[in-house]
Amino acid sequence: MDIGFIGLGEMGAVIVENILKVGHQVRVWNRSPERAAVLAAAGAQVVDSPAQAFAGDAVFSMLADDAALRAVIDAQLLEHAPRGLIHVNMATISVALAEELAHAHASRGLNYVAAPVLGRPDAAAAAKLTIVAAGPAEAIDRVQPVFDAIGQKTWRIGSLPQQANVMKLAANFMLASAVEALGEAATLITSHGVGMQDFLDVITNGPFPGPIYQGYGKMIAEQRYEPALFKARLGLKDVRLALAAADAVSVPMPVASVVRDSLIDAIAHGDGEKDFAVLGAVSARRAGR
């Protein structure tokens, strides 16, 4: 396939590498040109504008947030895009923007698929992402070979793109809640002289196995918050988006409010660029430890 790709951050860059490995042609654009230049050595074609990426069979975007997406994917870009093009947006964005984008694309004869991913950059590099896709079924069918190159499974959940975004926000809320709980539990047990690693050995080999408790628990136990695989400031962005989605349909999420405040605490103490696991440090600091 002839693919465009917009947004070459930590996730986007490794996703492009995996797309190239299976033989697709990829045109890449990024606001910071040096990131695009690195991928040229892997076989990507670097283009000078988003419009040049917005062509071919499909274009994928992986931008940081709503503001970044609005700055790049604007009305002018959509007006000049070839009719029938598929735009696959893999970013974690608000439900409201997802609905807006779906309408904007459909009104211009473009196909819009929301396909946010579950997984950190290490999972992306290993082509082990979990992809949550929603949008026109025929459009998803056409880009499924690309999904197969970058992920371990694609979950199709409906024809409305925003449904994929709300699922991703719900998943990230659960992740944030688990890390918050780990941080509070770590402060509790260590305050009573129990080793965090001993606690992790018990819970991860018993009721709470899996990468979240094992991975984030280990980082909290070691107080190792850098380099960040998922930055606290991005976690705060996602929790805020989940709360906004909940507010729109009058759904109370009291735990999400607690996690939001803990992440604000982290950022207020200069830890926004550290890993999500820094919630462990927030809990310890609140306890005076």
Of these residues, 168, 231, 237, 274, which one is catalytic? 168
In Å, what is the CA distance from 272 to each residue of 102, 104, 248, 260, 278? 31, 33, 27, 13, 9
Order the strands of the 117-118 sheet from edge to edge.
117-118, 129-133, 151-156
Burial grade of 59 (CB within 10 A; 0-12, 13-18, 19 or more): buried
Nearest partner of 49 among 10, 86, 4, 3, judged by Cα? 4
Report the sign of the C-alpha dihedral through residues 46, 119, 68, 111, in that order.
positive
Provide the H-helix boundaries in the chain. Answer: 10-21, 33-40, 50-53, 66-72, 75-79, 95-106, 121-125, 137-150, 161-191, 196-204, 211, 217-222, 232-248, 254-268, 279-286
Q: Does residue 168 carry a catalytic annotation?
A: yes
Give the catalytic positions in this structure. 168
